[in-house]
Amino acid sequence: MGLLDFAILLASWFKYRFTFYPWGKSVIIRTKEERMHKILLVEDDQVIRQQVGKLLSEWGFEVILVEDFMEVLTLFVQSEPHLVLMDIGLPLFNGYHWCQEIRKISQVPIMFLSSRDQAMDIVMAINMGADDFITKPFDQQVLLAKVQGLLRRSYEFGRDESLLEYAGVILNTKSMDLHYQGEVLSLTKNEFQILRILFEHAGNIVARDDLMRELWNSDFFIDDNTLSVNVARLRKKLEEQGLAGFIETKKGIGYGLKHA
């Protein structure tokens, strides 16, 4: 048995997978779990972005690249990454800003990549909510080891899935509030439940009767006007947040979210 045959047999035994890459003519071993992880890469340096993206892709990670640096939070919500790799010096808003914005809605692990190597920069990054920090230039294998270690520590007990997103509006089901354009809107229990149901059925109309059953968890008679009052109050709050018309009425049927 040749060395390659033995390596393949050994990898199969431990349920690992081999992948051949034409540019390196090499064999890479990685776990099934590593192949499932998505990483959001927020880096404006084209060379570093290409190098890091290639490294992570070779190891089976799905890499999402940010192209529009005004839409970092939107892409974060839409892509649902397992980890964020982010530079500090970014166009428009720096990495500290986006770290804070992400921390308002999620505990996903965040690692900074930066040429800033002063102790104060590292302290500030951690205080803003980052989980790790690596300075440029960095050894690729050290970066890979840090990524793998952070993912293991973060997802040992499963992944947090508490965000619902529609048309740039984010509903946090843990904190029961709504996020839009950097602002946070507090919701009452009924307001939150109405939005949760509509978010979960985005693109469809939810019947008034179904909404009332979900809200009050009862088949007993509830005045139809009670739901109308709750929806009207919620609409007023949304309008003040710049979301006029976000909840649409289908006359005689029910409610739905405005088409994106």
Q: What is the pLDDT of residues 122-179, one digit of tens each?
A: 888 888 889 999 988 888 888 888 898 899 888 765 445 577 888 878 888 888 999 8
pLDDT of residue 127: 86
CATH of domain 37-154: 3.40.50.2300
Size (the chain), residues: 260
Top CATH class of 163-257 equals mainly alpha
CA 214 from centre of chain: 27
Query: Where along the chain do its domains lie?
Result: 1-33, 37-154, 163-257
DSSP for 205-253 reads PEEHHHHHHHHH---S---HHHHHHHHHHHHHHHHHTT-TT-EEEETTT
pLDDT of residue 31: 41
Instruction: Tell me if 157 sits within 8 A of 250, measured CB to CB.
Output: no
Residue with tokens 């007993």: 220
- Dihedral of CA atoms 90, 95, 100, 103 in degrees, nearest 10, equals 110
- Ranges in the chain, pLDDT < 70: 1-36, 156-161, 218-223, 260
Rg (alpha carbons) of the chain, rounded to whole number: 23
Instruction: Tell me if 227 sits within 8 A of 212, measured CB to CB.
Output: yes
pLDDT of residue 40: 96
pLDDT of residue 24: 32
